[in-house]
Structure 1
Amino acid sequence: MSTIDPNSLSNLSHITTNHLHLSLSVDFPRKLIHGHVLLSLQALAESSSLILDTTGLIIHSVQLVCPDSSPHLSFKFGNKHKFYGTPLEITLDRPYNKDESLKVRIDYQTTEDSGALQFLTPEQTKGKKHPFLFTQCQSIYARSLFPCQDSPSVKLSYSADLRVPKPFTGLMSAICTGSKDDGDHTIFTWEQTISVPSYLIVLACGNLVKHDIGPRTAVWAEPEFIDACAYEFADLEHIVSLGESIITPYVWKRYDLLILPPSFPYGGMENPCLTFVTPTMISGDRSLVDLISHELSHSWSGNLVTTRNWEHFWLNEGWTTFFERQITEKLSGRDTSQLLSVLGVDELKNDVNRMGVTNKLTNMVPNLTEVHPDDAFSTIPYEKGYNFLYYLQHMLGKDFWKSFYQAYVYKFTGKSIDTDDFKNFLYEFTSSNLGPQGVEKLDSVDWDSWLNKPGMPPVKNEFDSEPMQAPINLANKWISASNSGDYSQVTKKEFDNLSTHQKLVFFTDLKTRQEETPILSESALAAMDSTYGLSYNGNFEIRAAWLYLALGAKYKPVFDAAVSMVADQGRMKFTRPVYRLLAACKDEGGYELAKETFLKLENTYHPICARMVRQDLKL
């Protein structure tokens, strides 16, 4: 196991990958991908072997690629690790000295155990006519798509040719350089000249069409969905321009979105040039576009400046959440940005309480030795990281902070860094620009508590409470109505006048107070659902927030709606809490219903989601 990255089995300190080329064919009938990967490598120290990460791959051959020949190399699989897969141990033709280069070609195919891949049946798509394939490589699943040094510490450029059956379109996280017919297949070619970590190499294949938004932006989706998606993301080009004005120029040439089928396990995935997006974002009113601001922000934090390993994941997500809320403030106003910050603190509290206030996985920089990175996944790196950066900005001043983060992006572009790199550069930049007084402020920061202690942050940021007053006033009205049994005082109009994020504050406030002491009767919950039309609401954020409140109150009439929610989509943000809350209603039969529902739907979820729900339900 590497000392550079506890979640990789590669010999990262001896050899590194500078570039790779993928030549792959998609086989829908057999539900696999086959082809080869060509790795361009450089020795970092004397090396006579190459060890790569793999999971669920069949290796056919390994060759050293030389100008005049391609001799076969001997290889074997090492011991399988319970989390990290199986190392592929390749014996090189000779010892390679530091800085020597070599190329290795590996012919292989995926299997049903390749967790990065999800093959969907036609019934699992919007159009119901054609199969679909997409890959998800974050956190440690690139090793199940191709043999590689599957660590964010390794950044590389890549090219690819992707052979897909007609009439399907193949997409990748790169710039398309062409396509050509190959009998009953089409071969698409791709090039990514900017160095990226392995988890950002992805592909998708399906019945897809494109709608151009601007000169460098477009939306891809199934034909049946393209108009709704194009409407939802009409501001995409403008959002990219806002990101540039706040951070630094956008360097990736394209910013396209692919709206995936409902089983996609995340809200979005920041694959370069092609962000993957959940269809649960399509609300019809453009009220959830802040998620796109988040994924776009990864174009700088995560994709350009990358965490060295998953222990420093907050450098990806904390910065991205910070940039997202800067963009949101310009796009939708300060009130929305502040509301998102308030809601983020509530989500952070929920995760800290769920995981345990002394759980070291709630550290901003956790120890992930012998821990699957997905098992540490929570709002901690997002919201604790964001609150840390917001606190530093407040301490040092907005103008200084903007100059710092722009210099930070320029300095570390193309690199993988850890928290010490961030901290050292912050001290260096502060000393140069603010002098001893600035350094003194940094010295007053409780760095150890922020970075290395579990639980909530040591400092509580103050966010503007004004945008919260209307939803909290409405929550108080419902509590009063519940006490009196008279629901004539609450109207649909008052709820409709709230923004989506204010509605989320409304539900969050009621849920928090309901957990402390029951404040809403069953008749109040029934009246709320019927007045506002919540259980099957078209806005998934509203629908989920209502279910969290109702299930938390053990309100059995929403059980069918909860089952519908986890059947309609597989986004972990919604799916996992609904299953957990349903299962917690043991006396009402919720656990058995949750278990029965999951076992029926398990194969429709992405493998990552299915694994995490299994853990949640202790199956």
Structure 2
Amino acid sequence: MVGYDPTSYSDPTEAKVENIDIKWKVDFNKKTLQGSVDLKFEVFKDKLQSVVLDSKDLAITRVSDGSTDLKFNIGEKHASFGSPLEIQLAGPVNSGSNFVLHIEYETSPGATALQWLDPKQTAGKKYPYMFSQCQAIHARSILPCQDSPSAKAPYSAQITVSDPLVALMSALSCGSETSVDESGAKWMTYKFQQKVPMPSYLIAIVVGLLESREIGPRSKVWSEKEFVDKAAAEFSETESMLAAGEELGGPYVWGRYDLLVLPPSFPYGGMENPCLTFVTPTLLAGDKSLANVVAHEIAHSWTGNLVTNHTWEDFWLNEGHTVFLERKIVSKLFGEQTRHFQASNGLGSLKSAIDHFGSDHPFTNLVIKLNNVDPDDAFSSIPYEKGHTLLFHLETLLGGPTEFEPFLRSYIDKFKFKSVTTAQWKQHLYEFFENKRPVLDSLDWNAWFNSPGMPPVIPQYDQTLAMECTSLADKWAKASSDDFASFKSDDVTKLTSWQKIEFLSQLLQKEPLTSSHVTAMDALYKFSDEGNAEIKFRWNRLGIRAKCESAIEPALKMALEQGRMKFTRPLFRDLGAWEKSRDQAVEGFLANKPFMHSTTASHIEKDLKLV
């Protein structure tokens, strides 16, 4: 292992990539990207004779420095980290110098960053579709690079695709050109420029039959035409969220904030790719109730994209700050009680994640260790919610929002365009609150950073919006069949979508209900007819936990019809744990595995204990 990032072979302290220039032709028949990348390096070590890059299953045919072909060696492959690509330079290069490596290659059809969809897997059914997901360490499967968040660089790209497909990237569009090959086939070459330095995991590409709609002065929403108008209506508040983010984090430096609604197999709720946030279609609830995910991805424009965790061991710096900023944005739009309500709700998902790993598991620490560990295996809501809890607790201790929001802005200003460690974050906190050092010293920092399980302190969140949810959940949990008549359909009609989600979340944290409870509840509240994915997800889990056989089919259907891991993995775990549904779950997974994102499929195999 070279360098200081345990998930990377590269060492940016010797020579760091300072610009990336990509040229790809997208081949849907072979399911590969074919082309080259030019990497411009800045050297920090005298007499540098070789460079090591991260790579994974790349078919490299030539490496040169522009004038001389260079020798290279691809090392032994690690299942998660891929292979070190060592390139011998033509001669020693001294500190302060620059050089360029030109690398010609082709990706593997099994590149873990890419998912290739056949036409039948798209909404339009006529053209194929491809999208990337490089976080955490999958960029190395589409280009040789320094695949560590500690290394940030701008990039440019030229992407050639067959007409009428459209290519988009996590960068600003610089136009397109048309060409015709010898066979008469028409090709489009799209050009992109990302001038802001960013880590490799934020390189993103999508190719499909895409359309767009304007939703703001600096925003469009993109998707297949079948979803584009619904998406435009759902995300119409994007500009308001951007403006609220700028109030807290400073100027938005990325130029555009476009949204791409992906096909259902996308494994996450959203991915904060600069200039082009990827989101799941499960957010299209029809009432904008799930648009807070967009607020989260917008917040990443400052915390994560502009200021980035140094390695994945400090992932909480990205996600804890982003959840904190997201809820600040929500507060500006919907009120402080809503912020407290969502923060309180987050404790439920935090507890569930800790229960999944086990309260003593090191992955439940805020700062984790990833020696020989794939960051995907450690991924959960813990860095999100445990990190947010620390920041909320600090805000309370240090004088409230008027005192803490200026710290958040100073943190962004100090570390923008850079990567930061937990130690650097803590040092800046102490420097900013120099006059409150005794307050900071009163915290048990080791318990916050390095102890497993729930946070050492839980803030006192305002429970105004949660009280109705709690009261109704407690009433159902205590009810016998004789009490069912006391419930009315308007118990939930007066609740917001967020409150319905919390009501079901609280029931999931209690002892499982009986099948008769679930049947009676659905007769009154019609949860089985819900279009809101967050509600439907919790309702399906509640039914499986209650051993309600009628819940098996809808739960399995939801687990298979979309690939968002937040939904799919718990549903498969629940279905796999019940003897009456396990065989169906395994059979359904194996039949659909070829159509799933590779990250999703590998996790579900482990969840179902098939590997």
TMscore range, shorter length: over 0.9
- Which one is further off, 470-479 or 80-89? 470-479
Tell me which residue corresponds to 1:592: 583
CA contact (8 A) 1:211 1:218 kept: yes
Q: Map of 1:210-225 to 2, 5 A cutoff?
A: 210-225=212-227
Tell me which residue corresponds to 1:459: 457
- Which one is further off, 73-82 or 19-28? 73-82
Q: 1:608 aligns with which of 587, 590, 599?
A: 599
Amino acid in structure 2 at the alignment position of 1:49: S
Equivalenced residue count is 603
| Aligned counterparts of 2:533 and 2:340: Cα–Cα separation in 1 | 21
CA contact (8 A) 2:481 2:516 kept: no
What is the deviation of 1:100?
1.2
Tell me which residue corresponds to 1:296: 298
**Structure 2 stretches lacking a partner, 5+ long:** 181-185
Tell me which residue corresponds to 1:579: 572
Tell me which residue corresponds to 2:555: 562
| Aligned counterparts of 2:107 and 2:482: Cα–Cα separation in 1 | 60
Tell me which residue corresponds to 2:514: 521
Please give the per-residue CA displacement for 1:146-168, whole angstroms capped at 9, x wherever unaligned: 11010000000100111111101
Amino acid in structure 1 at the alignment position of 2:144: P
Tell me which residue corresponds to 1:548: 541
Q: Secondary structure at the match of 1:485?
A: helix
Tell me which residue corresponds to 1:86: 83
Percent identity of paired positions between Structure 1 and Structure 2 = 43
1:44 aligns with 2:83: no
* TM-score of the pair, normalised by structure 2: 0.97
* TM-score of the pair, normalised by structure 1: 0.96
Q: 1:429 aligns with which of 427, 432, 449?
A: 432
Please give the per-residue CA displacement for 1:535-574, whole angstroms capped at 9, x wherever unaligned: 3521110000112222222222200011110121000000
Q: 1:193 aligns with which of 190, 195, 210?
A: 195
Amino acid in structure 2 at the alignment position of 1:58: A
What is the deviation of 1:465?
1.3
| Aligned counterparts of 2:457 and 2:339: Cα–Cα separation in 1 | 20
1:243 aligns with 2:236: no
| Aligned counterparts of 2:280 and 2:577: Cα–Cα separation in 1 | 27
CA contact (8 A) 1:514 1:553 kept: no
Please give the per-residue CA displacement for 1:200-258, whole angstroms capped at 9, x wherever unaligned: 00100001011011110110011111110011011111111111112211111100000
Tell me which residue corresponds to 1:61: 62
- Which one is further off, 452-461 or 524-533? 524-533
Detail structure 1 runs of 4+ shifted over 6 Å in the superposition.
none
Amino acid in structure 1 at the alignment position of 2:119: P
Tell me which residue corresponds to 2:323: 321
Q: 2:273 aligns with which of 271, 274, 280?
A: 271
Does the C-alpha gap of structure 1 residues 34 and 198 become closer, same or farther in structure 2, counting only changes over 3 Å? same
Q: Secondary structure at the match of 1:442?
A: helix
CA contact (8 A) 1:120 1:132 kept: yes
CA contact (8 A) 1:125 1:131 kept: yes
CA contact (8 A) 2:53 2:144 kept: yes
Tell me which residue corresponds to 1:417: 420
CA contact (8 A) 2:3 2:10 kept: no
What is the deviation of 1:354?
1.3
**Structure 1 stretches lacking a partner, 5+ long:** none
Amino acid in structure 2 at the alignment position of 1:423: K
| Aligned counterparts of 2:11 and 2:507: Cα–Cα separation in 1 | 51
What is the deviation of 1:333?
2.3
Tell me which residue corresponds to 2:259: 257
Q: 1:75 aligns with which of 72, 79, 100?
A: 72
Does the C-alpha gap of structure 1 residues 563 and 301 become closer, same or farther in structure 2, counting only changes over 3 Å? same
Tell me which residue corresponds to 2:152: 155
What is the deviation of 1:486?
5.1
| Aligned counterparts of 2:474 and 2:331: Cα–Cα separation in 1 | 28
| Aligned counterparts of 1:611 and 1:138: Cα–Cα separation in 2 | 15
CA contact (8 A) 1:4 1:12 kept: no
| Aligned counterparts of 2:583 and 2:529: Cα–Cα separation in 1 | 22
Tell me which residue corresponds to 2:405: 402
CA contact (8 A) 1:336 1:501 kept: no
Please give the per-residue CA displacement for 1:311-362, whole angstroms capped at 9, x wherever unaligned: 0000000000000000111122223222211121111111111101111111
**How big is the alpha-carbon RMSD for the aligned residues of Structure 1 and Structure 2?**
1.3
| Aligned counterparts of 1:336 and 1:250: Cα–Cα separation in 2 | 25
What is the deviation of 1:82?
2.6
Q: Secondary structure at the match of 1:285?
A: coil
Tell me which residue corresponds to 2:142: 145
1:495 aligns with 2:517: no
Amino acid in structure 1 at the alignment position of 2:88: T
Q: Secondary structure at the match of 2:465?
A: helix
